[in-house]
Structure 1
Amino acid sequence: MKIVDVCAFYSPHGGGVRTYVEQKLKTGPKLGHEIVIVAPGDEDAVIERGPGARIVFVRSPRFPLDRKYWYFNEPERLHAVLDAEAPDFVEATSPWRSASLVAEWKGPAPRSLVMHADPLSAYAYRWFGSIFPRQTIDWQFSMFWEHLRRNSRMFDHVVCANGDLSRRLREGGVANTITIPMGVEPGYFSPAHRDPALRARLLEACEMPESATLLLAVGRLAPEKRWPMVIEAVNAASRNVPIGLVMLGEGREQRTILRHIAGNPHIRLLAPERNRQVFARILASADALVHGCEAETFCMVAAEARASGVPVIVPDAGGALDHAQDGAGRTYTACDPVSAAQAIREIAITRPRPSARARSMEEHFQDLFAAYAATVRTQRWAA
């Protein structure tokens, strides 16, 4: 098949969507498919990524709230690109305006909406959850729900990477919802990469002895990640057991997070480690991964921790929850620093080493493309 991914939030500067796109570009051709990513950018351009893989940039304005991204502003130009590509299957990988643009395209190809974002959890529930029950918030955001419901009727699939999101969408009347979990990039993550000397150096950077517990936190420094809550929980747990926390991330909330760290020598905020081999060693050398976001659609870093034999401490909602199952970590009540501190204490005291287990990204794409192929066959048979 020729699969075109209309990817509104692809950025060359990094992020989870970029990681996913890069793996799709590598894996799709191996599985016998042609992959074309259509993304907004500063200029019209085509970047070849080898046989059967390329990125087509469509000149578009920068996104005003985050200049690392762009947005499609001319439906006609996007539709012209889709016409020229003549795909067998089309994906929209953002639930916002680009989903409507793909739904409105007049081409014959079947299509899917891939939920790389959970906007209600990331924004509406986070902003108003302490004031109103979710039923009230959903009612206030009924326009977005109707947007999802309307678009879902024009897509053959609405693809979610975790069961919690699929359930909420189905209960909200979103049609054609399916769950296809993602996976980790093969060949990088393993307990074999655990390095006691590296662990000791990271604890030393936190002014902690080797006997302390080394926690790792990884992700964008953005409000929905709830890093201030994680820092509060770690500080509370540290009153009972020695803990060093190493945070790897960058983003617009850096100053806010540094204010919450408040010079605590046992918490270090470092730049992201972009070398995958080095990052795999850091992750495997931690005693646990702690995460704060209840709005993850999959939580790649928690999956990578599981593949590394590292326990996870995650909220009891969203995609991160799946990675704590079967004794692989502890969950806490989402958004609750007291509950998070208790989960951290339990991990710091017991220091479990769960068995390494992870679904590969190749398995994810095999299942995803198989669903697409079945839809294409059904459409052709019906025609």
Structure 2
Amino acid sequence: MKIVDVCAFYSPMGGGVRTYVEQKLLIGPRLGHEIVIIAPGDEDTVIERGPGARIVTVKSPRFPLDRKYWYFPAAEPLYAALDAEAPDFVEATSPWRSAGLVAEWPGAAPRSLIMHADPLSAYAYRWFGQVFSRKTIDWQFSVFWEHLRKHSRKFDHVVSANSDLTRRLREGGVANTTTIAMGVEPGCFSPEHRDAALRARLLADCDLPESATLLLGVGRLAPEKRWPMVIDAVNAASQWAPIGLVMLGEGREERTILKHISGNPHIRLFRPERNRLTFARIMASADALVHGCEAETFCMAAAEARASGTPVIVPDSGGAADHAAGGAGQTFVSGNAASCALAIRDVAVSRPRPALRARSMDEHFADLFDAYRATVTGVRSVA
């Protein structure tokens, strides 16, 4: 099949969507499919990524709230690119404007919406959840729900990577929902990468001895990631045991987070590690991964920790919670620093090293493309 991904939030400068796209471009052709990514960018370009894989950018304006990204300003250039590609199957990988554009594209190809974002959890529930119930918040944001309900009827699949989001979508009346879990980069993450010398160096960076507990935090420095809450929880848990936190991330909240760290020598913020092998060694060498965001649709960092034999400390809702199952870590009450501190304390005391199998991206794309193939070879029934 020729699969075209209309990827509104692809950025060559990083992020979870970019990681997903890179794996799709690599694995898709290996499974016998041609993969084309159509993304907004500064210029109209075609970037060849090997046999059966390329990125097509459509000249578009920068996204005003985050200049690392662009957005499709109008339907016509996007539709022209889709018509030129003549895909067998089309994906929209953002629930915002591009979902509506792909839903309304007049082409005959079947299509899916991949929920790479959970906007209500990332924003509305986080902003107003201390005051209003989720039912009330959903009612106040009924325009977004109606947007999803309306367009979902024109998609053959609305794909979520975790069961919690799929359940909420179904309860909200979103049609054609299904769960297809993602996975980790095959052959990259393993407990065998654990490096005692690297662990000691990272603890030394935190001004702590090897006997201390090393926590790792990975992700964008954005409000929905709740890094200040994580920092507060680490500070509280440090009253019971010496704990160092190494954070790998960048983003618009860097100044706010550094101010929150307030010079604590046991908490260090570093740029993301772009070398995948080095990053895999860091992940396996930590005593636990701590993550604060309850709005993850999958949580790649927690999946990579699980694959590395590193326990996770994650919120009890959203995609991150799935990776603590089966003894792989601890969950805490979402958004609650005190609950997070208790979970950190428990892991710091016991220091478990779970040996659990992690799902790979090969398996994810095989399942996803099998669902697409069944749709292409069947009769499209979506109105």
TM-score of the superposed pair, with normalisation by structure 2? 0.99
Does 1:277 pair with 2:280?
no
Deviation digits for residues 316-364 of structure 1 (CA, Å, limit 9, x no counterpart): 0000000000000000000000000000000000000100421000100
Deviation digits for residues 10-64 of structure 1 (CA, Å, limit 9, x no counterpart): 0011111011001000100000000000000011010111111111100001101
- Aligned partner of 2:224 in structure 1 is 224
Please say if residues 308 and 356 of structure 1, whose CA atoms lie closer than 8 Å, have aligned partners that are also in contact: no
- Aligned partner of 2:81 in structure 1 is 81
Please say if residues 44 and 59 of structure 1, whose CA atoms lie closer than 8 Å, have aligned partners that are also in contact: yes
Q: Helix, strand or coil for the counterpart of 2:326? A: coil
Q: Helix, strand or coil for the counterpart of 1:70? A: coil
Q: Distance in 2 between matches of 1:381 and 1:329?
A: 42
Quick one: percent identity of the two aligned structures?
A: 79
1:78-117 counterparts in 2 under 5 A?
78-117=78-117
1:243-322 counterparts in 2 under 5 A?
243-322=243-322
Structure 1 runs (4+) deviating above 6 angstroms are none
Q: Distance in 2 between matches of 1:258 and 1:83?
A: 47
Q: Distance in 2 between matches of 1:125 and 1:365?
A: 31
Does 1:132 pair with 2:110?
no
Amino acid at match of 1:177: T
Deviation digits for residues 212-234 of structure 1 (CA, Å, limit 9, x no counterpart): 10000000000000000000000
1:5-16 counterparts in 2 under 5 A?
5-16=5-16
Q: Helix, strand or coil for the counterpart of 1:67? A: coil
Deviation digits for residues 253-290 of structure 1 (CA, Å, limit 9, x no counterpart): 01111111010011011111010000000110000000
Please say if residues 191 and 356 of structure 1, whose CA atoms lie closer than 8 Å, have aligned partners that are also in contact: no
Q: Helix, strand or coil for the counterpart of 1:189? A: coil
Q: Distance in 2 between matches of 1:145 and 1:296?
A: 18
1:191-230 counterparts in 2 under 5 A?
191-230=191-230
Q: Distance in 1 between matches of 2:199 and 2:329?
A: 20
Q: Distance in 2 between matches of 1:54 and 1:209?
A: 48
Structure 1's 146 and 349: CA in aligned 2 closer, same or farther, altered over 3 A?
same
Q: Helix, strand or coil for the counterpart of 1:379? A: coil
- Aligned partner of 1:238 in structure 2 is 238
- Aligned partner of 1:161 in structure 2 is 161
The Cα shift of 1:98 comes to 0.3
Q: Helix, strand or coil for the counterpart of 2:68? A: coil
Q: Distance in 1 between matches of 2:170 and 2:319?
A: 16
1:167-182 counterparts in 2 under 5 A?
167-182=167-182
Does 1:50 pair with 2:50?
yes
Q: Distance in 2 between matches of 1:74 and 1:314?
A: 39
Amino acid at match of 2:138: D
The Cα shift of 1:84 comes to 1.1
Amino acid at match of 1:135: K
Q: Distance in 2 between matches of 1:190 and 1:49?
A: 27
Amino acid at match of 1:244: G
Please say which of residues 77-86 and 284-293 is displaced more in the overlay. Answer: 77-86
Q: Helix, strand or coil for the counterpart of 1:325? A: helix
Does 1:187 pair with 2:187?
yes
Q: Distance in 1 between matches of 2:131 and 2:84?
A: 49
The Cα shift of 1:187 comes to 1.2
RMSD: 1.0
Amino acid at match of 2:227: W
Q: Helix, strand or coil for the counterpart of 2:216? A: strand
The Cα shift of 1:74 comes to 1.8
Q: Distance in 2 between matches of 1:381 and 1:300?
A: 33
Deviation digits for residues 273-313 of structure 1 (CA, Å, limit 9, x no counterpart): 01000000011000000000000000001000000000000
Please say if residues 309 and 354 of structure 2, whose CA atoms lie closer than 8 Å, have aligned partners that are also in contact: yes
- Aligned partner of 1:71 in structure 2 is 71
Q: Distance in 1 between matches of 2:204 and 2:34?
A: 48
Q: Helix, strand or coil for the counterpart of 1:326? A: helix
Deviation digits for residues 137-172 of structure 1 (CA, Å, limit 9, x no counterpart): 000000000000001001000000000000000000
The Cα shift of 1:132 comes to 0.7
Q: Distance in 2 between matches of 1:380 and 1:324?
A: 38
Q: Distance in 2 between matches of 1:59 and 1:151?
A: 25
- Aligned partner of 2:337 in structure 1 is 337
Amino acid at match of 2:33: H
Q: Helix, strand or coil for the counterpart of 1:211? A: coil
The Cα shift of 1:381 comes to 11
Q: Distance in 1 between matches of 2:181 and 2:169?
A: 16
Q: Distance in 2 between matches of 1:7 and 1:99?
A: 10
- Aligned partner of 2:353 in structure 1 is 353
Amino acid at match of 2:362: E
Unaligned runs of 5+ in 1: none
TM-score of the superposed pair, with normalisation by structure 1? 0.99
Q: Distance in 1 between matches of 2:43 and 2:321?
A: 40
Q: Distance in 2 between matches of 1:381 and 1:246?
A: 50
Q: Distance in 2 between matches of 1:26 and 1:289?
A: 27
Q: Distance in 2 between matches of 1:288 and 1:310?
A: 5
Please say if residues 110 and 380 of structure 2, whose CA atoms lie closer than 8 Å, have aligned partners that are also in contact: no
The Cα shift of 1:80 comes to 1.1
Amino acid at match of 1:352: P
The Cα shift of 1:379 comes to 2.3
Q: Distance in 1 between matches of 2:288 and 2:352?
A: 9
The number of residue pairs the alignment matches comes to 382
Please say if residues 10 and 69 of structure 2, whose CA atoms lie closer than 8 Å, have aligned partners that are also in contact: yes
